[in-house]
Amino acid sequence: METVRLNTDILVIGGGTAGCWAAITIAEQSGLDVLICEKAGIKRSGCLAAGVNALNAYITEGKTPQDYADYCEKDAAGIVRGDLLLTMSERLNSVTEKLERLGLVILKDEQGRYVARGDRNIKINGENIKPLIAQEVRRHSQISVLEHVDITDLETSSGRATGAYGFGIEDGTFYAISAKAVIIATGGAAGLYRPNNPGFSKHKMWYPPFNTGAGYAMGILHGAEMTTFEMRFIALRCKDTIAPTGTLAQGAGAKQINALGEVYEQKYGLTTSERVYGTVMENLAGRGPCYLRTKGISREKAQSLEKAYLNMAPSQTLKWLESGVPVEEQDVEIEGTEPYIVGGHTASGFWVDTARMTTIPGLFAAGDVSGGAPQKYVTGALAEGEIAGESAVRYAEKLSPEPLPEESVQAHINETEGFLSGRKSLYTAPQLEEAMQTVMDKYAGGIGASYRFTEAQLDIADRRIAQLFELSGQLSADTPRELLRIYELRERLVVCRSVIAHLRARQETRWHCFAENLDWPERNDRDWRKYVNSRLENGKIRVIFRELVSGGETYEHSDKQG
């Protein structure tokens, strides 16, 4: 296959929110060259494809960064990195101001102050937020962008991250890229579990279906320490369209009701996981389906809901119209999504030091791929991109370039060519993907299992996922797109294995639905106020428990293990 070799000072893997911001930071603060590798095109790739209508992480008047960190800690029932949350929160407002300078429209009141929505949110007209960030990337001549290239592996054989390998998803060109430092910003993982609608609409999901957990998988396979994979994220959404429910609940005052018309939300609590849990429990008790009660609202309110959803999730307005029943004459059915692994909402991801370096020297992490700091949203991802960018500059400035080891380049070419060799394979990547999602659904707490699991089930899941990974090594691709599907499947399988190990390790139920362990159904603060971390060593996942890190501390990696 055609091979292209590239050299850069800092390689950024993933051109989404955090990755683009890291690249901009590096270009502004140093003379170093940056290369962004992105699987799609940076203009609208990642979580911001559709745009957003609010910035959910902002320090409003009278509040402090510590308040924001405290809120995140409470929502995650204490299992967060205080140091990461505080250093992130301190930058939320400065990155917001910078977004405004790039052209983002932030709504203001008569006094020129941002219009707040609650304690932590400000309203924006953010349809074009990603194009604005991408445009700023393009303005810097130090930044090169390689699009439609999927990075499949890191180079770490010298004991630090010195580059990566990948291929062009349209033309199949092989890339070998050497760098002094690498920033990983590949997002979280969707598609591990059987989705709400496994057929034609399988990708109509909360999180980008193109985020496969590639960064997690590369890190895991290179022995990086990972944290809190057991804290899965599940969103409560409008059935079928997976549209947000907040506008109905807060905007229209709609209550969660069961099929008998009883309001049930007070019974279970109002955090995200409790709202999902309540809905699951009502269904299990035979009182489903559950709804947000919109029947009986005024026509005027109904029309404003139609418009609100056209702005942020047009499929919901389309669904109302397709139903043939006016909005005010029906309730909106709700459901939990399949579980995701995502460090921007919950705390799963790379175990990093306060400077956002992973346990692999020279590998920095930002955004959803980075663990310990939930509730990042857009601005938190930008703040982390900035911190990771600054740290990567300090690290790379001292180093001279190191060529990729030739035997490693050849081994990676051979692996990729192996999948393209035309060998016979009984199975296809989509078949194995379906098998993986079915296993995770049934045996590792998916929608079909009401998010619950037992140790005995996790044992089955672990064996089946290991078998599927074995089978995936024999798959065959005729086109670069089929090759992409094979790599994406293998990334997800690697992540699944770690999720299973983490779910098993935390012997309590701290977060309903996110980690509903039927063998350990109670929360146990005496024994479990600690992180569950893991490393892949000699083919086995070793679980490591670590003590909580608070805000104000500076955490550095050491060999000391808890």
Partner 1 sequence: MSIAINRDKCIGCGRCTQACPGSLIGMSGGKAVMRYPEECWGCTACLKECPVHAVRLFLGADIGGGGTLLHTERQGEILRWIFERPDGTVQEIPIDTRESNKY
The token pair that represents 19 in the structure block: 């990755």
Query: What H or E segment, with its residue span, contains residue 480?
Result: helix 480-505
Q: In the complex, what is the shortest distance from the CB of residue 382 to partner 1, in angstroms, rounded to a whole number? A: 18
Given a contact cutoff of 8 angstroms between Cβ atoms, the answer to whether 106 and 114 are in contact is: yes
| Whether the bond into 289 is cis, omega within 30 of 0 | yes
**By CB under 8 A, residue 213 contacts partner 1:** no
**By CB under 8 A, residue 171 contacts partner 1:** no
**By CB under 8 A, residue 201 contacts partner 1:** yes
What lies within 8 Å, CB to CB, of 313 at 6+ separation is 238, 241, 243, 244
Angle (CA) 220-225-228 rounded to 5° is 95
**By CB under 8 A, residue 307 contacts partner 1:** yes
**By CB under 8 A, residue 377 contacts partner 1:** no
3-class SS of residue 356 = coil
Q: In the complex, what is the shortest distance from the CB of residue 239 to partner 1, in angstroms, rounded to a whole number? A: 8
Using the contact rule CB under 8 A, the part of the chain among 33-41, 337-345, 372-380, 496-504 near partner 1 is 33-41
Q: How many residues does the chain have?
A: 562
User: Which of 17, 30, 53, 498 is in the footprint of partner 1 by CB under 8 A?
Assistant: 53
Using the contact rule CB under 8 A, the part of the chain among 22-30, 38-46, 368-376, 516-524 near partner 1 is 38-46
Given a contact cutoff of 8 angstroms between Cβ atoms, the answer to whether 366 and 381 are in contact is: yes
Site string for partner 1, 320-339 (x = CB under 8 A): -xxx----------------
Using the contact rule CB under 8 A, the part of the chain among 217-225, 316-324, 354-362, 537-545 near partner 1 is 316-324
User: Which of 200, 300, 424, 538 is in the footprint of partner 1 by CB under 8 A?
Assistant: 200
Q: How far apart are CA 397 and CA 374, in angstroms?
A: 30
**Size of site (CB under 8 A) for partner 1:** 51
**By CB under 8 A, residue 172 contacts partner 1:** no
Please list every residue from 215 through 244 that binds partner 1, using CB under 8 A: 240-241
**By CB under 8 A, residue 460 contacts partner 1:** no
- HSE value, Cβ hemisphere, 13 Å, CA-based, for 314: 5
**By CB under 8 A, residue 204 contacts partner 1:** yes
Given a contact cutoff of 8 angstroms between Cβ atoms, the answer to whether 136 and 382 are in contact is: no
Using the contact rule CB under 8 A, the part of the chain among 66-74, 287-295, 298-306, 370-378 near partner 1 is 298-306
Q: How far apart are CA 91 and CA 383, in angstroms?
A: 6
Q: How far apart are CA 468 and CA 550, in angstroms?
A: 40
Q: How far apart are CA 202 and CA 180, in angstroms?
A: 39
User: Which of 107, 132, 471, 518 is in the footprint of partner 1 by CB under 8 A?
Assistant: 107
Exposed/middle/buried for residue 414 (C-beta within 10 Å: 0-12, 13-18, 19+): exposed
**By CB under 8 A, residue 119 contacts partner 1:** no
Given a contact cutoff of 8 angstroms between Cβ atoms, the answer to whether 95 and 386 are in contact is: yes
User: Which of 135, 197, 450, 454 is in the footprint of partner 1 by CB under 8 A?
Assistant: 197
Using the contact rule CB under 8 A, the part of the chain among 193-201, 355-363, 502-510, 515-523 near partner 1 is 193-201
By CB under 8 A, name the binding residues for partner 1: 39-41, 43-46, 49-51, 53-54, 107, 123-125, 127, 147-148, 169-170, 197, 199-205, 208-210, 240-241, 247, 251, 304-308, 310-311, 314-315, 317-319, 321-323
